[in-house]
Amino acid sequence: MPTTTQRGNARFVVLTGLSGSGKSTALKALEDLGFYAVDNLPVELLPAFVNLPLEYVGEPFKAALVMDVRAPRFVEAFPRIFQELSERGFELEILFLEAGDEALMRRFSQTRRQHPLADEGGNLQEGIKRERRLLEPFRRRATQIVDTSRFTVHELRQEVTRLYSRLAPPAAMQVNFITFGFKYGLPPESDLVMDVRFLANPYFVDELRSLDGRDPAVVDYVFKQENTGAFLSRFKELLAYLLPLYHQEGKSQLTVSVGCTGGKHRSVSVVEWLARELAGPGYRLTVRHRDISLG
């Protein structure tokens, strides 16, 4: 288990390693764990950066910094700056990512990106070998080394979360509930869509038509129907099963859209109930009734 670098309230992880090894993915995983994320920080700015949280942040501060061969003078200057910071009491943790030549070549081929150290002829293999030689001293100094050759993007996020979640508990998953009317179209941001038009429509009850799904009279009408209780129980159970799986796969937020004909009555009552039932420390919930004034 890695030990996080800290001085006072500050914690720092320097993310480095071979180009194409997944540093951007790892940085996003650390950001989801609550780390302040910085990509491609110039090495000369590191001393000033590590002092900022000590001066300006009162609560515990966690930062993840990607630093690699893209930055001028990184290879030459980092060892000296690292040593100077160590002598001043900073102990930066280094997370080094690497992968085999075959995996790196396949990834660069798939993305069609130029390797930062490829020669003028674009010789990818030589660029990889050169970078590996240049970064060997950093690898020897690393606190953690992760070989990503066989990792998918999701597996790499899971590995980084496993290594650092005890140091920075993962942020609660953001769950956004949206109600809508089918006659106005599906919300384009939807991840999951539920159609509740099988429930009897309060619109056809004269005294309920002008009300919306938050009104007790409409709620009572919707919830007294024979099928409502069984449906809500099963829908809640489905979400309780799916949400942790989505989070495990690296999804930090999920949008669940519930629709009825006009988006004013049934969907609103259902989502208001679901939001209350799922509220708790595991999720950060938002509710938006998109078409409530139109239905």
Instruction: Return the HEC string of 188-217.
Output: CCCCEEEECCCCCCHHHCCCCCCCCCCCHH
Question: Considering the chain, what is the average pLDDT of its residues?
Answer: 86
Query: How does pLDDT run across 139-178, given as a tens digit for each residue?
Result: 988 889 999 998 888 889 888 988 887 655 556 778 999 9
271 has a pLDDT exceeding 70:
yes
216 has a pLDDT exceeding 70:
yes
Q: How far is CA 180 from CA 29, 60, 200, 232, in A?
A: 32, 41, 17, 18
231 has a pLDDT exceeding 60:
yes
Torsion of CA 230, 231, 233, 237, to 10 degrees: 140
| Percent of residues in the chain assigned helix, strand, coil, to nearest 5 | 45, 20, 35
Query: How does pLDDT run across 233-259, given as a tens digit for each residue?
Result: 999 999 999 998 887 776 778 899 999
208-230 mean pLDDT: 94
123-151 mean pLDDT: 89
Query: Quick one: pLDDT at residue 118?
Result: 73
Query: Quick one: pLDDT at residue 6?
Result: 44
**Domains by residue range for the chain, with CATH:** 5-164 (3.40.50.300), 173-289 (no CATH)
Instruction: Provide the pLDDT confidence category of residue 127 given band limits of 50, 70 and 90.
Output: confident
At 89 the three-state DSSP class reads coil
Contact 21, 97 (CB under 8 A): yes
- Structure tokens that stand for 48 in this block: 């000033």
